[in-house]
Amino acid sequence: MLKKMSIKKILVSTSALFALFLVYLIPKNKVNTLDNVKQEVEYVDKSVVTEEIYLLDSNNYLARTKVAISSKETDIEAKAKELIEVLIKDGIGESKIPNGFKSIIPGDTKILSIKYENNILKLNLSKELLDVSEEDEEKVIEAIVYTLTTIKEIDKIILYVDGDILTKLPKTKLNLPSTLDRSFGINKEYNITSTKDINQVTVYYVSKFNENYYYVPVTKYVNDEREKIKIVIDELTGSTNYNSNLMSFLDNNTKLLSVNNGNDLMELEFNNSILNNLSTKEILEEVIYTICLSIDDNYDVETVVFSVEEEEIYTSVLKEIK
């Protein structure tokens, strides 16, 4: 009897020790798995690199959105290649395209070579690049130029087709400069009555797909000799914008009181209608972005300061909003 009891005690002790060993091996609190998942997601998010790209939206505008890329920050050529791959229809980058957007470069187009040097990217594509409708021919060039110049190291593009610099579009007969930059324009609109005193101004608007806002640049050609920032603010206050597909969150009572531009800095003073909240003195992010993105395309400045009736409210470093 004593022997049986001893054996039973040994078995119970062994089982208890084994159970304690399992508890030691297995995480103490399995209910905490959500926290573990959250930490893993945060780690993955921090490792993902995104880059701006210009894709067609549902209204046929080239719009600014973002895609994930795997290239290293310092590998300019690889980064440019990935972005062009997303712009090619039915290409290997198609899975990266956000909902509501689509590519514009013809699907059979091949990337023949990419060379980066001294802030200029030389891009050589196959002749299928030009297999587009007359309506989209110019938009293809706009998408390439605006997408590649979102890479901060790239200022200009030299575009080749089968080894020859593209200097003329075959369908529209539009002559192209041998070196392209954002002065080429995007989503162009012409509101001119004379060939004299034409001002070219790019204005960024807000658009929406489902519940997500994004930004759409429109290059306007107008007979208006005023300072470009004044035209931008007038456009964003809605005084001349009648397109229901493009929005601005800038109150139509907003007035630009003064502009000081110099030493890589632009200071803008407004009345208090620019504020979203008078007590907290906040400006909507969408207002800041539409103004700053517009300034970045029209001026060579690095910082924008927003003031309301002589009180500084907000400072934006342009390279941080790209």
Closest CA to 288 of 302, 300, 305: 305
For the whole model, what pTM was predicted?
A: 0.83
Instruction: Give pLDDT, residue 2.
Output: 33
Query: Any idea which residue has 């070219």 for tokens?
Result: 200
Over pLDDT 90: what percentage of the chain?
A: 75
Q: Percentage helix, strand, coil, to 5, in the chain?
A: 35, 30, 35
Residue 18 has pLDDT above 90, yes or no: no
pLDDT in tens, 26-65: 343 333 333 333 333 333 345 568 999 999 999 999 999 9
Calpha distance 115→268 (Å, rounded): 39
Calpha distance 52→74 (Å, rounded): 16
Instruction: Give pLDDT, residue 321.
Output: 78
- When pLDDT is averaged across residues 152-180 and rounded to a whole number, the result is 97
Cβ neighbourhood burial of 269 (10 Å; 0-12, 13-18, 19+): buried
Instruction: Give pLDDT, residue 195.
Output: 87
What one-letter code names the amino acid at 231?
Answer: I
Neighbours of 236 (CB within 10 A): 25
Instruction: Give pLDDT, residue 12.
Output: 41
Confidence band for 3, pLDDT divided at 50, 70 and 90: very low
59: Cβ contacts below 8 Å, ≥ 6 apart:
207, 245
Confidence band for 281, pLDDT divided at 50, 70 and 90: very high
Instruction: Give pLDDT, residue 322.
Output: 66
Which residue stretches of the chain are H helix?
2-25, 33-47, 76-87, 134-148, 228-236, 285-298
CA angle 115, 117, 120 (to 5 degrees): 85
How many residues does this entry show for the chain?
Answer: 322
Average pLDDT, the chain: 86
Over pLDDT 70: what percentage of the chain?
A: 83
- When pLDDT is averaged across residues 220-236 and rounded to a whole number, the result is 95
Instruction: Give pLDDT, residue 6.
Output: 42
Q: Which two tokens stand for residue 152?
A: 């901060």
